[in-house]
Amino acid sequence: MIDLVKNLAAVNRRTKTSVIRELLKLTNKPEIISFAGGLPAPESFPAELFADIASDILKKNSMTVLQYGPTDGLPELKDQIIRLLREDEGLIIKPENILITTASQQALDLVGKTFIDAMDPILVELPSYIGGLQAFNAYGAKMIGVKDDDHGILVDDLEQKLARLRDEEEHYKFVYIVPDFQNPSGVTLSEERRRKVVKLAEMYNVLVIEDSPYRAVRFEGKAPHIMYKLGRSGNIISLFTFSKTLAPGLRLGFVVAHEAIIRRMSILKQSMDLCTSSLNQMIAAEFLSRGHYKGHVASLCKTYKVKKDAMLEALGRYMPEGVTWTKPEGGLFLWVRLPEGMNADELFYEAVKENVAYVIGSAFHCDGGGHNTMRLNFSYPSPEQIDEGIQRLAKVIKANLVKKGEKPKAAALTR
Amino acid sequence: MIDLVKNLAAVNRRTKTSVIRELLKLTNKPEIISFAGGLPAPESFPAELFADIASDILKKNSMTVLQYGPTDGLPELKDQIIRLLREDEGLIIKPENILITTASQQALDLVGKTFIDAMDPILVELPSYIGGLQAFNAYGAKMIGVKDDDHGILVDDLEQKLARLRDEEEHYKFVYIVPDFQNPSGVTLSEERRRKVVKLAEMYNVLVIEDSPYRAVRFEGKAPHIMYKLGRSGNIISLFTFSKTLAPGLRLGFVVAHEAIIRRMSILKQSMDLCTSSLNQMIAAEFLSRGHYKGHVASLCKTYKVKKDAMLEALGRYMPEGVTWTKPEGGLFLWVRLPEGMNADELFYEAVKENVAYVIGSAFHCDGGGHNTMRLNFSYPSPEQIDEGIQRLAKVIKANLVKKGEKPKAAALTR
């Protein structure tokens, strides 16, 4: 066997298997109710429509759908994306502003590959999407965490970090933000802060990576503008996906950016997978052009809202005092904060014993913090499972409160 | 607009648009007969079977085929690959030895990402597959060319380069070889040389990347063993694809390697695209499990052999003396060598004027050589187009021989 230690690239050699990966292995028992996944509800997949479309396009258009396509994406899908962004976001863009990707994760990898040299500082939220952190980590980025609250990234903290880096004559590459129903926190960046972030980015001449996979999955409330629309200097790169609106199995996403950036990314994408599956691109393009998209997303939002409400209700009913959580208006996740000093990493093993699972919040923190937090997914389990699972989780948390020597509150025990 | 020069990663900033890309733009006129592509024959795609399969699995199994799948690939497809390799290659492997990729290009990117630090030397063939060179280039590899002849890589030259690097205490990462019907040359590495290369790799403790996308597309002759089977030390990584046997539009390939290597690659793949499309994996798995694969590949080989023979015949009929070419037993390409001193890069523009196109051979040479060579694709054009196209190409070459002041040979002119 080859000497791996000697042969691995340096960054890769230093990459450890993710903690989450190891923890998730413990959650594979059928009796576990898992809030740990990030899976869309499979019962919502438009399988019948896809079956008809796939059969049609394979019979009528196989020369295109089974062949290599252009690296930047099929024109048919780009046209639909342009229409969608015009109708939903009031955004006017050209095909040259779009790069179709093998879903959002490839877009994140592309962002890393395009901009990051080892040790380059980048600014990320506390907490931030773990897949983004992994993608940037693989290029040796130096993560600098910026604090979040229930309205998204703290603009003052962001400005402070930007100013410090400038004073150090350091060359920061970008600010990475998940502005809508953030993974993991479920929080949405407010309109006011979006404008401030965009202004700061222009002032400091730094890129903003707007990663918004859940944008279209809004159940309630009013959407702030996408950041791309607020910027005027071509320094915002926005990432979207069809994984949460159509299906992850298609592996389809897209980047919206200045055409000079798309051109650069497109050259790199060629070395990464030549092009994204033409078949899958045409399935999505047909689904959109036949007019199925809006109705489908509306029905999806209805399903998810029921589940989200079920989770909020269960949290209210079962959780002891001192535990708080976010109230997302969309997306797949919410975020639970345990009392300071309680450790969700340690609690995980006890939760699994009680047949309930979550993702430890510390995994989303580049600064080693967040040990009293956890991410709960509400899109995959049924409302009944949600109720039962939260009940189990509350039991574990209460037992832990007691163990820590705190007198259990009567209210919490009788609930 | 952000300052791209300042913000781009160093390797990326130094990446120029490929010459081929620019040249191919000139070949988009409908009147051009192009031998420049690398496209499989679209009339050979099993579109009807795919339509039935896609419709079936989307109706019966949508929860799997539209959902995220395991990063290393769906067990259903791995099982089929294991069976295929056992039957076709006599190779016995386990699921842990396989990583499903978003086609071969992603596998090449993964190899780069797993092993290459900037300035690491790697050994590549002269000529070598340009997509491999691009993928490795993106990680800043230092390419060292090893000479090829009509039986593949020259073992003596390989040993000399390996010894030199060892003497320089340099840390070479791998030898990259396309052993079957090489892209671009169409040449197959002989059995004898395969054994020697494997032995050398073990002696020098270096990895071999065996990239074999065309392996199954053999029209005639006897296949040497895959190199993976000849190695005993877990230092061979083999890359295969369904792009040439089923369809490129599926974007499906797979890596076969020691399980410790697959594990490392799998962690990286997670940061690159989470997983390959479950839908596409299941289409391929079903196609194989329903027993369509062997008959389909056999009929494909029949089609390609007719085209290859048509090209060899046309070359024999129209080309002037002094021009030679390889005689591939499979694959999609053959390789033409012009008389020394003639420049295929310059000739390209004249060829396009005569409405015929090829890929300049120099693009496949990491050492700046190969200017008198060209790659011709025979899988895409029809036999009639091949005959007409080679006639046009021969005309350009002959005119160039005359221009260079050489007395045109009577034989060549009357042919």
By Cβ distance, the residue of A59, A264, A270 closest to B48 is A59
Average pLDDT of every residue of chain A: 93
CB–CB of A264 and B115 under 8 A? Answer: no
pLDDT at A25: 79
Neighbours of A37 (CB within 10 A): 16
The CATH number assigned to the domain with range A4-45+295-414 reads: 3.90.1150.10
Per-residue pLDDT, B403 = 67
Average pLDDT of the residues in A122-128: 98
Query: Rounded to an integer, what distance in angstroms lies between the CA atom of residue B375 and that of residue B373?
Result: 7
pLDDT of residue A406: 52
Contacts of A105 in chain B (CB under 8 A): 270-274
User: What percentage of chain A has pLDDT greater than the value 70?
Assistant: 96
Question: Could you give the CA distance from residue A150 to residue A318 in angstroms, rounded to a whole number?
Answer: 22
Position B296 scores a pLDDT of 97
Residue carrying structure tokens 């694709």? B377
How far apart, in whole angstroms, are the C-alpha atoms of residue B240 and residue B229? 14
Query: Between A and B, how many CB-CB pairs are < 8 A?
Result: 248
Q: Which of residues 197-256 of A touch B (CB under 8 A)?
A: 205-207, 233-235, 243, 247-251
pLDDT tens digits for A242-277? 999 999 999 999 999 999 999 999 999 999 999 999
Q: CA–CA separation, A380 vs A377, rounded Å?
A: 7
Quick check: B343 contacting A, CB < 8 Å?
no
Q: Is the pLDDT of residue A415 over 90?
A: no
Query: In this predicted model, what pLDDT tens digit does every residue of B227-274 receive, in sequence order?
Result: 999 998 789 999 999 999 999 999 999 999 999 999 999 999 999 999
Confidence of residue A27 (pLDDT cuts 50, 70, 90): confident
Q: Residue B172 has what pLDDT?
A: 86
Q: Which residue of B has its CA nearest to A42?
A: B63
Q: Name the residue among B223, B219, B179 with its Cα closest to residue B379.
A: B219
Asked if residue A135 lies in contact with residue B271, where contact means CB atoms within 8 angstroms, the answer is yes
Q: Count the Cβ atoms, other than its own, within 10 Å of residue B325.
A: 19
CB contact under 8 A, A258 and B1: yes
- Chain B residue numbers touching A130 (CB-CB < 8 A): none
**A113 and chain B in contact, CB less than 8 A:** yes
CA distance B202 to chain A (A): 9
H-helix or E-strand containing B101?
A: strand B98-101
For B192-236, write each residue's pLDDT tens digit: 999 999 999 999 999 999 999 999 999 999 999 999 999 987 899
pLDDT at B415 over 50: no
Q: Does B304 touch chain A (CB under 8 A)?
A: no
SS3 label, residue B294: helix
For residue B329, the 8-state DSSP code is: S
Q: What is the average pLDDT across A385-403?
A: 94
Residue type, B228: Y
Identity of the amino acid at A20: I
pLDDT confidence tier of residue B309, bands split at 50, 70 and 90:
very high
CB contact under 8 A, B7 and A250: no
**What mean pLDDT do residues A87-100 have?**
98
Q: Answer whether A9 sits within 8 Å of B114, measured CB to CB.
A: yes
**Is B137 in the A-facing interface, judged by CB distances under 8 Å?**
yes
Interface membership of B103 toward A (CB under 8 Å):
yes
The pLDDT of residue B27 is 80
Chain A CB within 8 Å of residue B193 CB: no
d(CA A334, CA A299): 20
In CATH, which of 3.30.360.10, 3.40.50.12160, 3.30.930.10, 3.40.640.10 is domain B47-292? 3.40.640.10
Q: How confident is residue A405, by pLDDT bands cut at 50, 70 and 90?
A: low
Bigger pLDDT: B18 vs B307? B307
Q: Where does the pLDDT of residue B410 fall: very low under 50, low under 70, confident under 90, or very high at 90 and above? A: very low
The sheet carrying B333-337 orders its strands as B324-325, B333-337, B373-377, B359-360
Q: What is the pLDDT of residue A22?
A: 76
The end-to-end CA distance of chain A, in Å, is: 59
Contacts of B277 in chain A (CB under 8 A): 249-251, 277, 280
pLDDT band at A165 (very low <50, low <70, confident <90, very high): very high
B66 to A114: CB separation less than 8 angstroms, yes or no: no
Chain A contact set for B171 (CB, 8 A): 6
> What is A60-291's CATH number?
3.40.640.10
Find the closest chain A residue to B206 by CA distance: A2
Residue B333's H or E segment, with its range, is: strand B333-337
Domain ranges of chain A: 4-45+295-414, 60-291
Render pLDDT for B372-408 as a digit per residue (tens, 0 to 9): 999 999 999 999 999 999 999 999 999 998 766 555 4
Q: pLDDT by residue (tens digit) across A52-85? A: 999 999 999 999 999 999 999 999 999 999 999 9
Query: CA–CA separation, A216 vs A245, rounded Å?
Result: 7
Spell out which residues of chain B touch residue A138, defining contact as CB-CB under 8 Å.
113, 268, 271
What SS3 class is residue B388? Answer: helix
**Predicted confidence band of residue B11 (pLDDT cuts 50, 70, 90):** confident
Note the pLDDT of residue A408. Answer: 44
Q: Does A8 touch chain B (CB under 8 A)?
A: yes
